[in-house]
Amino acid sequence: MTRHALSPSHPDTLDAQETLGICLLKLGRPVEALPLLEANLAARQALLGASSTALAGPLGNLAGALSDLHRDGEALALLERAVALREAAYGTNDPRLAVPIVNVGTVLVAMGRHAEAIPVLRRARDLFEASSGADPLNGGYARIRIADALSRLGHHDQALAELVPIERLPPAHYAMIAAVALIEQGNVLIAMGRSGAAAQVFERAANLPDHETMAPEIRQQIADGLAQARRDRLRTATRARND
The residue ranges of every structural domain in the chain are 56-168, 170-236
Check pLDDT > 60 for residue 4. Answer: no
Q: Which CATH number is correct for 56-168, 1.25.40.10, 3.90.1150.10, 3.30.420.40, 3.40.50.200?
A: 1.25.40.10
Distance CA 140, CA 163 (A): 8
Residue 6, by phi and psi: left (phi above 0), alpha (psi -120 to 50) or beta?
A: beta
Q: Which of the four pLDDT bands, split at 50, 70 and 90, describes residue 134?
A: low
pLDDT digits (tens, 9 = 90+) for 42-94: 999 999 999 999 999 999 999 999 999 999 999 999 999 999 999 999 999 99
Q: Which of the four pLDDT bands, split at 50, 70 and 90, describes residue 124?
A: very high
SS3 state at 188: helix
Distance CA 63, CA 72 (A): 8
